[in-house]
Amino acid sequence: MIKNISIRRLKTGVPGLDNLLGGGLPEYSFNLLAGPPGSGKTTLAHQIMFACAGPTNRVLFFTVLGEPALKMLRYQQQFAYFDVAKVNQSIRFVNLTAESMKGDLDQVLNRIADEVKAYAPSMVFVDSFRSVVKADSHVDQWGAEQQKFVQRLGTLMASWMATTVLVGEYTETESQSSPIFAAADGILWLSQSMQRNSMVRKMQVVKMRGQAQAPGLHTFRISDRGIQVFPRAIVKPGLAVDFEATIGSGAARIPMGVPGLDAMLGGGLPAGYSLLVVGPSGSGKTILATEFLAEGARLGEHGVVAAFEKSPSQLLGNIKLYSMVQAGQVGVIDTRSLDLSIDETLHDLVDMINRMHAKRVVIDSLSGFELALAPEFSEDFRGSLYRMVAELTGMGVTILMTSELEDRYTDLRFSPFGSAFLADAIVVQRYVEIEGQFKRVISVVKVRGSAHSKDIRLFDITDDGIVIGEALSGYTGLLTGRPTRGPP
Amino acid sequence: MDALGISRHRSIENLTSQNPENSASSDVGLWPSLATQIIAIVGVGGFDSLYARSVFLTQSQFTWLAADCEIPSDDSRFVSLTASLDSAAPELARAANSLLLMTFTDIFASLVGEPLTARILDSAWGTGGYHFAEKDKDEDT
């Protein structure tokens, strides 16, 4: 049987991008990298170029009008991927400004053809392609000449077996009328949006012929290392934990590290569950989370903590946690930025979970997490959190999330985000007034698919951690904050 | 100026004085190959701007230096420089050309960095046995 042609996919060298593209850039494909000014097009093109260039993979980079080449080279060298040793070895820059200025597209094409013949590159970049075709026209419209130019360029590159990336500034409306969008095998669209002083960069693979790209918008960040893409988490079929199967098969339960709490949970927290610990400020949520990690460390299970409310120094002021971090038993995610996306946080978590082979994850707290996100992600916090929890539990880790809950004695809520539904188990902590004293109480509200204690029990925070006391069985109206003794 | 820059200056001095029996204007021959490399990367406009500023700065020391860079043709770009050097005493002409090359490459290096400048100079003049890039320098020593 004759085997169909198999297209090689070139690794782009941009973290996260190959996942979006469906494995990489298809060899010999004709691609458009489009977006508004400042969206990171040239940076992305350079990063891909330097990653791909090598002795057997030569690259031609045509610069045209737009950003002066001198400036481009100056600024691009600020990124770690810029390898000077590759310039004039496996990368050749060619300036097409003179030909473009003359406005003769045939001349531009002939120059490109000459350079391609002379250098025999595996990859060709044209930045900015928009400048090439615009120079030919006094009006900003595509004429027959430009269409012919695109057609001939595509054919030329295919016949010389060069994977091509055209870089261009386009608006979304142009993407529906410009013939380059129809001719291109692949289109990568970059954008940036501002909301309440927060800037978020996004990338979309509009099309990538012959392979399944990741749909939707994906956030990316530009740092001194270049571009890093954070593919949007998508809940895959079968990824969410099958609760009945988990419990029914007698899956392992993991101890919480707080004496008495495991019994309240029905024998510990089922592995791979997400537990939401809610309570007012100072009720002991972070201490409970620390005990959870410490118990894991004691059993040889590594943990990861994403702390959104405290700086690293504040966080590590927690001696118990500090010791675990120092011993390499717990990893800490830096989460102090205020323009994060859920996917970026998830990427960092997954990366550290894999590196540490972690089994336990703490997110402290959801309230701080929401604050750390760029405003546009806060609007869909619940949906994003659902995707994140599904992805993490799908990896088999057990998650403990804390959530601040204002002590209101007239209404009973478990989360200010309505996110209680996505937790498999909920533990609530509250303050109640008993005999003129503020006392802390703890109760297990739910453990999906499992029996659990219905008690409301007193607890104290001591030097040895959380000590759970007796059940307050002789009281009524505990959750109103002002219980009374006696039967209901 | 870092070590690569100092080394670049030394190499330019050597290149412009390696054939003392020739006329100074023969050293103008270094310019076309340099122009080819730079123009390929930054375009004619980019090269001409850098060259004009280099001439202007060099004229503060060699006031007689005339190097019209407004001639658009590649073939005639350095005609004016050649004529100007030919009209001066050989030693002075050689010093002026050397300074002009150093000034030009100084400006270019300050914009795109010494390592990239060194690579481009290797492409332009490397066949003359001079190596500007750091790696090649290490191999020499």
How many angstroms separate the CA of residue A92 from the nearest CA in chain B?
Answer: 8
Alpha-helical regions (H) of A167-311: 174-177, 179-183, 243-248, 261-264, 285-298
Report CB contact under 8 Å: B111, A70.
yes
| pLDDT-based confidence at residue A199 (cuts at 50, 70, 90) | confident
Residue B45 near chain A (CB below 8 Å): yes
Task: Choose from B37, B51, B110, B112 for mutation: most chain A CBs within 10 A.
Answer: B112
Residue B74 near chain A (CB below 8 Å): no
How many angstroms separate the CA of residue A78 from the nearest CA in chain B?
Answer: 10
Q: Which residue has the tokens 């097009």?
A: A41
Give the whole-number percent of chain A exceeding pLDDT 90.
40
How many angstroms separate the CA of residue A183 from the nearest CA in chain B?
Answer: 28
Q: Which amino acid is at A279?
A: G
Q: Is the ipTM of this complex over 0.85?
A: no
Question: Which residue among B45, B112, B120 sits closest to A74, beta carbon to beta carbon?
Answer: B112
DSSP A290: H
CB A251 within 8 A of CB A270: yes
- Residues A134-144: what's their mean pLDDT? 56
Give the whole-number percent of chain A exceeding pLDDT 70.
83
CB A182 within 8 A of CB A32: no
Q: Could you give the dihedral angle defined by the CA atoms of residues B136, B137, B138 and B141, in that order, rounded to the nearest 10 degrees?
A: 120
| Phi then psi dihedrals of residue A433, to 5 deg | -100, 120
Residue B136 near chain A (CB below 8 Å): no
Residue B135 near chain A (CB below 8 Å): yes
Question: Which residue among A73, A74, A97 sits closest to B43, beta carbon to beta carbon?
Answer: A97
According to the model, what pLDDT value does residue A319 have? 83
Report CB contact under 8 Å: A95, B41.
yes
Task: Choose from A63, A82, A94, A95 for mutation: most chain B CBs within 10 A.
Answer: A95
CB A360 within 8 A of CB A400: yes
Summarised one tens digit per residue, pLDDT across range A212-228 is 888 888 889 999 999 99
Residues from chain A that touch B114, judged by Cβ atoms under 8 A, are none
Q: Of A260, A284, A246, which Cα lies nearest the Cα of A460?
A: A284
CA-CA distances (angstroms) from residue A401 to A54, A142, A276, B10? Answer: 46, 54, 5, 65
Report CB contact under 8 Å: A84, B43.
no
Q: How far is CA A441 from the centre of its chain?
A: 37
pLDDT at B17 over 50: yes
CB B69 within 8 A of CB B77: yes
Residue B92 near chain A (CB below 8 Å): no
Report CB contact under 8 Å: A87, B116.
yes
Residues from chain A that touch B111, judged by Cβ atoms under 8 A, are 70-71, 73-74
Summarised one tens digit per residue, pLDDT across range B94-120 is 999 999 999 999 999 998 999 999 999
How many angstroms separate the CA of residue B129 from the nearest CA in chain A?
Answer: 17
Q: State the Cα angle at A41 between A35 and A47, rounded to 5°.
A: 155
CB A62 within 8 A of CB A70: no
The mean of the pLDDT values for chain B is 82
According to the model, what pLDDT value does residue B136 have? 44
How many angstroms separate the CA of residue B41 from the nearest CA in chain A?
Answer: 5
* Cα–Cα distance for residue pair A470/B73, rounded to 1 Å: 95
Of A120-124, A225-229, A287-291, A365-369, the range with the lowest mean pLDDT is A365-369
Question: Which residue among A69, A84, A85 sits closest to B42, beta carbon to beta carbon?
Answer: A69
Summarised one tens digit per residue, pLDDT across range A308-359 is 877 666 766 778 888 999 999 999 887 656 567 778 888 888 889 999 999 9
Question: Which residue among A63, A85, A88 sits closest to B120, beta carbon to beta carbon?
Answer: A88
Report CB contact under 8 Å: A63, B135.
no
Report CB contact under 8 Å: B41, A84.
no
